[in-house]
Homo-oligomer: A and B are copies of this chain.
């Protein structure tokens, strides 16, 4: 007997059952009566996490990420856990994978544990093509704070801390152009809030410098070193000419360095390469890869600080933006 059974039997969402349990006024009297009837009929009592037992909080925050073994997200989890613990909060971790149905299920599962807040780490949690697919997050935010790390959803109760990816990419492209590069290949992994901002920065910098944006210089690629290397080889073989490669992830930049080695290109003279996230990978290659430090530690610290302010009843902006840093190493001279 759990909140799922009540939700199914009453024909309402988990979030609605949660609202009734919390005494949230945003439930119609009719719905509230229906849910209470079902609870009585089923003999349901809220679980031990429930605030209804007279305990105001479990001091526990749910953290969701698509894949904690991704280096960027692994760091996010490390910093979030550290900051939450420093503030006296436990974190229940949930790695959801990338499918919407699983994200929704795990989200509801964590809600049913009566966590005090949810943190969604990484930009993969906001569906940018089908806004209605985000409704489950927006609905839940009526009951508890939802914090997005490097994602953005404009709704009450949702607080986003984002890296200024658009500006970071703009600056890199602008500096490459001003140092003489004209045919900058842009290779990216995913269609997401963060991914679209990065691409926009690249496009805007070209436009601002009077360079036409060419579709054949913008390519998608799996987040995989070998795939990126092969992509660049096939592009070069097909006659495409490029003097710089900007990427949305360091793994793609490592593939670009391997392409340059395979073709005996000098870096940065013949080919400039720029990674993204300034991960350990960017330090493994020879030459080391210039990359964008997306300040994941600062993002996580700010996320937890904002959450504590929300808990304290403070006025927190729905969106906080943090600037990235370009870390020049050996694959650029800009």
Contacts and interface: CB of A to CB of B under 8 A. Distances in A.
Nearest to A91: B93
A68 B92 contact: no
A257 interface: yes
A100 interface: no
A219 to B, nearest CB: 21
Contacts of A36: none
A90 B112 CA distance: 12
5 contacts: A60-B92, A69-B75, A251-B280, A258-B286, A261-B286
A41 to B, nearest CB: 22
A254 B90 contact: no
A181 interface: no
Contact of A283 (B58, B78, B225): B225
Interface residues of A, number: 36
A286 B288 CA distance: 12
B94 A92 contact: no
Given A49-B48, A95-B82, A284-B254, A90 B113 contact: yes
A93 B93 contact: yes
Most buried by B among A60, A85, A93, A283: A93
A92 B90 contact: yes
A81 B53 contact: no
A281 interface: yes
A74 interface: yes
Given A81-B93, A91-B93, A284 B48 contact: no
A92 B63 CA distance: 10
A230 interface: no
Interface string A229-267: 000000000000000000000010010011001000000
A68 B95 contact: no
A69 B82 CA distance: 11
Contacts of A225: 283-284
